[in-house]
Structure 1
């Protein structure tokens, strides 16, 4: 969907660097923290454009936004960066709504775990001047693309999941890598994840944790019917071909959680996308530090007495 900016906003918006704001405010206190961040950004000379649903929600919560700008659909292509305020789910939905995939995206965590959204609102407010002065880094993250008969169907940041459409029915997923047959995956399906997605759905399936800088893809079986099928790490410069067989007429494909249905025996292709996502980083926190703190690696677990 193309972006649409509100009436009488073009001249006003051209005066300052524009920032698109995506977010959710259902967690207690998150709306207040978002407005504190917005105030700091405004005072630093940025012009904020709120995603229309977020704009309406904030108005309903009593915040005075009558003079604020809003947009519907995708973020305008001329924003200098976008902010995702929420959890990892908000981040995923935000990156799929960038008109220009090269637009930097700043993830801010107002939720719980947050592997992708590691920066807290208070940390972001403290570092607003770094944004103004350009004192930040851009981390490029890989995307993978799904094709059917040469037609691009979508890009995934975390994963593409090939799953059964009906519960109680197994599916078989035949997989080829660069035309070389790999295996028949019998079970609930097969997950193809990026390094960024290694801490998402794939992790819950006992897939490996992979540093996001790694140039690899992860094949993780979903509830395999045999114990011999295990997760596998492969180079990201290969082409994966998949063919599904099932007693059901259809199977499901979820691209970062967005599901579509396909007829069985319809071959699909997955390969590395030509595009990348640019994540705006305000901290020097390493991936090792994020994993250690989020998963409590090395922490002593004391029994409850």
Structure 2
């Protein structure tokens, strides 16, 4: 079996857990390939049983990895999908961060989770994504998001006005600090913090959530993900900020943004006893009540 490792920097006390992961893979004779920048970060602090291969770009992964492990938090996983793209390589997140909705394997569960994976005791959770189209091709080939697209004002000045069209029908013109278009996966991220609903991963929906809207009667809207969303932004400023998961770009007010469902999905590795409802109960601490 071949497993790719992707990560960023982390605190010194977490090297112990990464060393544990490396030793487990070595004991099971797993061939490891590691993202080159991440390898440069860990190479002087980690003992590898045999020297790992390295990769630097998306095109070096297909055929060289059966799985990818993301070492870090949810932000690290969002960066990992920019390497996986449409390859279909399953992704498992090992959480060295805090919340970890996506990277659901805690650092204390590494041994158990990896052993289960190597035994074939897992399922694949297909997560839909959104695709963004702009005349300027703002995000190049990586014009998709697992969590959300956001439109924000570029500074702390006045609100912006975002006109939203669903299949060429006007939904609303939002006076707000910004707007979020979230996938079901992203419904537990930025959208949730703006009072958006929690959507189960297989719901086949998008969520449109305003950020600090000026009109108190405006609420998040859930639409089918087969819809095509079109955004036009106005305001006193000539430029605005567009976020696509962990990436961002500046757009002019003349730019029209089109959002639709991406043609491919991301495969997240899920242990047999795990499910979405268990995750949100744990991460949001539901049931932590003296009456329970």
Structure 1 and Structure 2 fold alike (TM over 0.5)? yes
Per the alignment, do residues 65 and 94 of structure 1 end up closer, same or farther by CA in structure 2, a change over 3 Å counting? Answer: farther
Per the alignment, do residues 286 and 249 of structure 1 end up closer, same or farther by CA in structure 2, a change over 3 Å counting? Answer: same
Per the alignment, do residues 101 and 222 of structure 1 end up closer, same or farther by CA in structure 2, a change over 3 Å counting? Answer: farther
Higher mean C-alpha displacement, 155-164 vs 228-237: 228-237
SS of the aligned residue for 1:220 comes to: strand
Tell me the distance in 2 between the aligned counterparts of 1:148 and 1:247.
22
Per the alignment, do residues 130 and 301 of structure 1 end up closer, same or farther by CA in structure 2, a change over 3 Å counting? Answer: closer
Tell me the distance in 2 between the aligned counterparts of 1:278 and 1:176.
30
The answer for the alignment partner of 2:179 in structure 1 is 190
Deviations 1:111-137 (A, max 9, x none): 211111111234231243433332321
TM-score normalised by structure 1 residue count: 0.87
The answer for the alignment partner of 1:43 in structure 2 is 27
How far off is 1:282 after superposition? 2.3
SS of the aligned residue for 1:271 comes to: strand
Higher mean C-alpha displacement, 198-207 vs 131-140: 131-140
Tell me the distance in 2 between the aligned counterparts of 1:164 and 1:25.
30
Per the alignment, do residues 261 and 151 of structure 1 end up closer, same or farther by CA in structure 2, a change over 3 Å counting? Answer: closer
Per the alignment, do residues 65 and 271 of structure 1 end up closer, same or farther by CA in structure 2, a change over 3 Å counting? Answer: same
Tell me the distance in 1 between the aligned counterparts of 2:8 and 2:19.
12
State yes or no: 1:70 paired with 2:85.
no
How far off is 1:218 after superposition? 0.3
Correspondent of 2:212 among 223, 228, 234: 223
Tell me the distance in 1 between the aligned counterparts of 2:278 and 2:10.
28
The answer for the alignment partner of 1:26 in structure 2 is 10
Superposition map of 1:29-108 within 5 A: 29-61=13-45, 63=47, 67-74=51-58, 76-78=61-63, 79-98=65-84, 100-108=86-94
Tell me the distance in 1 between the aligned counterparts of 2:43 and 2:19.
12
The answer for the alignment partner of 2:96 in structure 1 is 110
Deviations 1:94-125 (A, max 9, x none): 11112544111011112211111111234231
TM-score normalised by structure 2 residue count: 0.91
Per the alignment, do residues 65 and 51 of structure 1 end up closer, same or farther by CA in structure 2, a change over 3 Å counting? Answer: farther
Tell me the distance in 1 between the aligned counterparts of 2:286 and 2:194.
19
Which blocks of at least 5 consecutive residues in structure 1 are unaligned?
1-16
SS of the aligned residue for 2:264 comes to: strand
Per the alignment, do residues 129 and 105 of structure 1 end up closer, same or farther by CA in structure 2, a change over 3 Å counting? Answer: same
The answer for the alignment partner of 1:9 in structure 2 is none
Correspondent of 1:143 among 129, 142, 161: 129
State yes or no: 1:176 paired with 2:165.
yes
Which blocks of at least 5 consecutive residues in structure 2 are unaligned?
none
Per the alignment, do residues 45 and 268 of structure 1 end up closer, same or farther by CA in structure 2, a change over 3 Å counting? Answer: same
